[in-house]
Amino acid sequence: MTEPASLPVTSPRGPVSRAPKRVSTSARWRRGVQYGSFLVFALMSFGFLNSTNWDLANAFFIFDPLVGIASMISAQTVFPLLAIGSVITLAVTYLLGRVWCGWICPLGTALDVVPPTKKKIRIPGERMLRGLKYVFLLVILAGGAMGTLALSWLDPITIMGRTLTVGIEPFVQTRDIAMPAPEFGQVWPSLFVLGFFVLIVGLSAIRSRFWCRYACPLGALLAIVARFSRVRPTVDGSSCISCSKCARTCSVEAVSATDGYSMDSAECVMCLECADVCPKDSVSFPITSHTVQEGSVGPTRREFVGVAGAAAAMTAATAVAPDRALAAVGGELPPLSTVASLIEECVRCGRCSDACPYGLIESNTSVLEPDTLFTPRLNHSDGRCTENCNECGDACPTEAIPVNENRLVAVIGDQKCMAWVTGRHCSRCTPFCPVPDAIIDARVQPGAEHLADAPVELPWIDPEVCIGCGLCLGHCPGRFSEGVVMLPRV
């Protein structure tokens, strides 16, 4: 006859209780906030809030300090919403620690669902590997100072948003049964984005929150601030019985069982699980007056030199020249965007792809050109941009795609246009105009009498026909597309 389930079962080391694990109120709150944040983020990513307010739909990007700081450095301008959101997140991190990582981040929530392997796999140079996220952070910020956001796609909010909008949404959209099955070239961007997400999730099976520990650049930025945080995890040595439950439970190994169970506030994601499992309630999160935590597992001075060196090498590898970037972007550029705006301001979030009502915007997945990886481009195989559509510009959180308010008109910059300056024929902008007869090739236009004898046709844009979509802007071979300019409509 078996014993009742409620009775303890004896073992060679004594009775072992089968009581269910206690779930604290704080754990319930955290899970509720985590899953609620993920649900809201998914609804935003799938466009349920787009028609209401794009600023609301981009809330996670607005409060992402890495997106805000890097894009403002690169564009050399201040985006008010991004600046305010960044300050709020950094202030909360200073007060409460990395609650963004443990409570809000949708990628962190997705990784928490993946159970790590029971057998711990040894990773050589694990301490040095933690410095990788600081390398990525420095590369993104240094690249921004050089005018490129080539590695901004490593930001966790852009990763999760791109996964939902570019990787998943195209497969779950309702398709007309009469439409032909998509070709591999059409689904390759989605498969590429999904593959990268699956890789990140798979690494979490080796170590819980692998990406958060070793590679997340936003986590590195918040870790620097969290070293000064006012609320910090602490273990009371007088009541601690060294059971190591807190160290085994910590998903980012912020608890050091070999160093008197010291806790690193820079690495702690404030999940509070260590306090839940402590049998003596020795773990607490008091408000401290210390200015900086000592004994952090962050990089030492010598390691920081290595981190800075690796960051400099990666920054140089992703440095971009406008001429090479123009070829790398490929295809057509979104309305009113230029190679310069995509390189300097685009954070590769995929919001424009989600916003386009005609499904014309896709992500560049050419891994051979890392400086333009995941930048948007137009695919007009199924249609063309139309007048009075502002969706991609409204959706862009950094103004890499300006808002098309249809109060502008395209004008040939005769001091920059290759045909007007050199007298050589060029009609690069003409094929991309969605309006017939908006761009006219004529032998002589006012102000070009000095080229009257040249056997070429010079382009001219009819302001009465132009709808101000800006598609011609991104395809001018002139440096930074200055051969075509957008001016207010008179």
Per residue in 426-436, pLDDT (tens digit) is 777 777 787 88
Beta bridge partners of 371: none
Is residue 475 within 8 Å of residue 332, measured between CB atoms? Answer: yes
pLDDT (0 to 100) of residue 326: 45
Top-confidence residue, 480 or 164: 164
Which pLDDT belongs to residue 89? Answer: 96
Identify the pLDDT of residue 234.
86
User: Of 307, 266, 261, which Cα lies nearest the Cα of 284?
Assistant: 261
DSSP notation for 13-56: TEEE--PPPP--HHHHHHHHHHHHHHHHHHHHHTTTTTTT-HHH
**CATH at residue 448:** 3.30.70.20
Q: Most confidently modeled of 7-16, 213-222, 327-336?
A: 213-222
Q: What is the 3-state secondary structure (H, E, C) of 421-434?
A: HHCCCCCCCHHHCC
Where residue 101 falls among pLDDT bands split at 50, 70, 90? very high
175 versus 51: the higher-pLDDT residue is 51
Q: Is residue 116 part of a domain?
A: no
185 pLDDT more than 80: no
Q: Across residues 133-152, what is the average pLDDT? A: 85
Between 154 and 10, the more confident residue is 154
Instruction: Give the end-to-end CA distance of the chain in Å, rounded to a whole number.
Output: 93
Close Cβ partners of 269 (under 8 Å, ≥ 6 residues apart): 98, 99, 101, 102, 108, 209, 212, 251, 252, 254
Lowest pLDDT segment from 155-159, 180-184, 268-272: 180-184
Distance set, CA 126 to CA 123, 188, 213, 326, 361 (Å):
6, 34, 10, 39, 40
pLDDT at 201: 92
Q: How many domains does the chain have?
A: 1
Q: What percent of the chain has pLDDT over 70?
A: 70
pLDDT of the residue at 15? 44
Lowest model confidence (mean pLDDT) among 234-243, 262-271, 356-365: 356-365
Q: What is the pLDDT of residues 73-85, one digit of tens each?
A: 888 888 898 999 9
Would you place residue 400 in the very low, low, confident or very high pLDDT band (cuts 50, 70, 90)? Answer: confident
Helix (H) or strand (E) holding 9: strand 9-11
Amino acid residing at 458: L
268 lies in a domain?
A: no
Instruction: Look at the alpha carbons of 297, 301, 303, 305 in this order and tell me if their dihedral is positive or negative.
Output: positive
Q: How confident is the model at residue 329, as a pLDDT?
A: 47
Reported residue count of the chain is: 490
In a domain, 82, yes or no: no
Residue 7 is predicted with a pLDDT of: 41
| Cα Rg of the chain, angstroms | 27
Instruction: Assess if residue 251 is contained within a domain.
Output: no
Within a domain: 438:
yes
pLDDT tens digit sequence for 453-488: 555 667 778 888 887 777 777 667 654 446 777 776
Q: What is the pLDDT of residue 479?
A: 43
Tell me what percent of the residues of the chain surpass a pLDDT of 90. Answer: 17
pLDDT of residue 426: 75
- Owning domain of residue 415: 406-490
**Where is pLDDT greater, at 471 or 28?**
28
Rounded Cα distance, 302 and 325, in Å: 36
Query: Does residue 434 sit within a domain?
Result: yes
What is the residue whose two structure tokens read 């930074």? Answer: 480
**Alpha-carbon distance 210 to 108, whole Å?**
10
| Both structure tokens of 371 | 């400086």
At 287-316, the pLDDT tens digits run: 876 655 554 445 555 655 665 666 566 555
Mean pLDDT comparison of 1-5, 155-159, 306-310, highest-scoring range: 155-159
Query: What's the whole-number average pLDDT of the chain?
Result: 76
CA dihedral 339, 345, 347, 353 (to 10 degrees): -60
Stated pTM of the model: 0.76
Of 319, 358, 292, nearest in space to 147 by CA: 319
pLDDT of residue 178: 40
Q: Stretch 345-368: mean pLDDT, rounded? A: 80
> What pLDDT, on a 0 to 100 scale, did the predictor assign at position 93?
95
The answer to whether residue 411 sits within a structural domain is yes
Residue 251 CA to residue 274 CA, distance in Å, equals 10
Grade residue 22 by pLDDT with cuts at 50, 70 and 90: low
Residue 119 domain flag: no
